Amino acid sequence: MTQIKPSLGIYIHIPFCKSRCIYCDFVSSVDDCSQRDKYVEYLCRQIRSASEDFSDKYTVDTIYFGGGTPTLLDDKQFDLISKEIFKRFHCALKEFSVEANPCTIDREKLITLKNIGVTRLSIGVQSFNDELLKMLGRRHDARRAEDAIRLAVELGFDVSVDAMIGLPNQTKFDVKDFIDRADTLGVEHISVYMLSVEEGTGLKSLIEQGKLIAKNDDQLADLYEYACLCLKERNFQRYEISNFCKNQKVSHHNLRYWQRLDYLGLGMGAHSLTNGERWNNSDNFKDYYDGVDKGDCRRNIQKLSKEDIESEYIMLAFRLQKGIDLSEFNKKFGENFLMKYSKAIKKNLEFLEVTSTSVAIKDKYLQLMNSIIVDFI
Ligand SMILES: C[S@@+](CC[C@H](N)C(=O)[O-])C[C@H]1O[C@@H](n2cnc3c(N)ncnc32)[C@H](O)[C@@H]1O
Ligand code: SF4
Compute the distance between CA of residue 366 and CA of residue 321 in angstroms, rounded to an integer. 10
Helix, strand, coil percent content, the chain, rounded in steps of 5: 45, 25, 30
pLDDT of res. 57? 95
Contacts 24+ apart (CB under 8 A), 241-247: 241/319, 241/366, 241/369, 242/191, 242/192, 242/193, 242/194, 243/189, 243/190, 243/191, 243/192, 244/189, 244/190, 244/191, 244/192, 245/160, 245/188, 245/189, 245/190, 246/188, 246/189, 247/188
Q: Are 85 and 60 in contact (CB under 8 A)?
A: yes
Contacts 24+ apart (CB under 8 A), 88-92: 88/47, 88/48, 88/51, 88/55, 89/8, 89/10, 89/51, 89/54, 89/55, 89/58, 89/60, 90/5, 90/55, 90/58, 90/59, 90/60, 91/59, 91/60, 91/61, 91/63, 92/59, 92/60, 92/61
Query: Which of ligand 1's atoms lies nearest the C-alpha of 101?
Result: 9
pLDDT in tens, 120-173: 999 999 999 999 999 999 999 999 999 999 999 999 999 999 999 999 999 999
- Which of 25, 26, 30, 189 to mutate for ligand 1's pocket (most ligand atoms within 8 Å of CB)? 26
Compute the distance between CA of residue 47 and CA of residue 315 in angstroms, rounded to an integer. 30
Handedness of CA 179, 185, 189, 193 (dihedral sign): negative
Mean predicted confidence (pLDDT) in 332-346: 95
pLDDT in tens, 16-52: 999 999 999 998 889 778 899 999 999 999 999 999 9
19: which DSSP letter? S
Residues in the ligand 2 pocket, defined by CB under 6 Å: 17, 20-21, 24, 26, 28, 67-69, 101, 124
pLDDT of res. 27? 83
Q: Are 290 and 322 in contact (CB under 8 A)?
A: no
- Which of 26, 65, 162, 203 to mutate for ligand 2's pocket (most ligand atoms within 8 Å of CB)? 26
Mean predicted confidence (pLDDT) in 57-76: 96
- Which of 18, 23, 257 to mutate for ligand 1's pocket (most ligand atoms within 8 Å of CB)? 23
Query: Which of ligand 2's atoms lies nearest the C-alpha of 101?
Result: 3
Where does the chain hold its CATH 3.20.20.70 domain(s)? 7-258
pLDDT in tens, 280-301: 999 999 999 999 999 998 999 9
Give the distance (Å) from ligand 1 centre to CA of residue 117.
24
Strand, helix or coil for residue 190: strand
pLDDT in tens, 230-275: 999 999 999 999 999 999 999 999 999 999 999 999 999 999 999 9
Query: Which of ligand 1's atoms lies nearest the C-alpha of 69?
Result: 6
Give the distance (Å) from ligand 2 centre to CA of residue 27.
9
pLDDT band with cut points at 50, 70 and 90 for residue 363: confident
Mean predicted confidence (pLDDT) in 176-192: 98
pLDDT of res. 340? 96
Give the distance (Å) from ligand 1 centre to CA of residue 37.
24
Reply yes or no on whether the pLDDT at 2 is more than 70: no
User: What is the four-CA torsion angle of 317, 322, 327, 332, rounded to 10 degrees?
Assistant: -20
Handedness of CA 344, 350, 352, 353 (dihedral sign): positive
Q: What percent of the chain has pLDDT over 90?
A: 94
pLDDT band with cut points at 50, 70 and 90 for residue 79: very high
Structure pTM? 0.95
Q: Which class would CATH give 7-258?
A: alpha beta
Q: Are 167 and 134 in contact (CB under 8 A)?
A: no
Reply yes or no on whether the pLDDT at 1 is more than 80: no
Mean predicted confidence (pLDDT) in 85-99: 97
Q: Find out whether the peptide bond into 269 is cis, omega within 30 degrees of 0.
A: no
Q: Tell me the average pLDDT of the chain.
A: 95
Mean predicted confidence (pLDDT) in 330-336: 95
Compute the distance between CA of residue 65 and CA of residue 169 in angstroms, rounded to an integer. 32
Reply yes or no on whether the pLDDT at 187 is more than 90: yes
CA angle centred on 264, ends 117 and 82, rounded to 5°: 25
**CA dist list (Å): 356 to 50, 319, 325:** 42, 19, 10
Give the distance (Å) from ligand 1 centre to CA of residue 96.
19
Scored b (16 or more CB within 10 A) or e, 256-292 reads bbbebbbbbbbbbbbebbbeeebbbbbeebeebbebb
Reply yes or no on whether the pLDDT at 3 is more than 90: no
Reply yes or no on whether the pLDDT at 95 is more than 90: yes
Compute the distance between CA of residue 278 and CA of residue 295 in angstroms, rounded to an integer. 18
Give the distance (Å) from ligand 1 centre to CA of residue 122.
11
Residues in the ligand 1 pocket, defined by CB under 6 Å: 23-24, 26, 66-69, 99, 101, 124, 126, 162, 164, 193, 195-196, 198
Alpha helices in the chain (DSSP H): 36-54, 75-88, 107-116, 130-136, 142-154, 172-184, 202-208, 217-233, 252-259, 285-294, 306-317, 326-333, 337-340, 342-347, 369-373
Strand, helix or coil for residue 271: strand
pLDDT band with cut points at 50, 70 and 90 for residue 15: very high
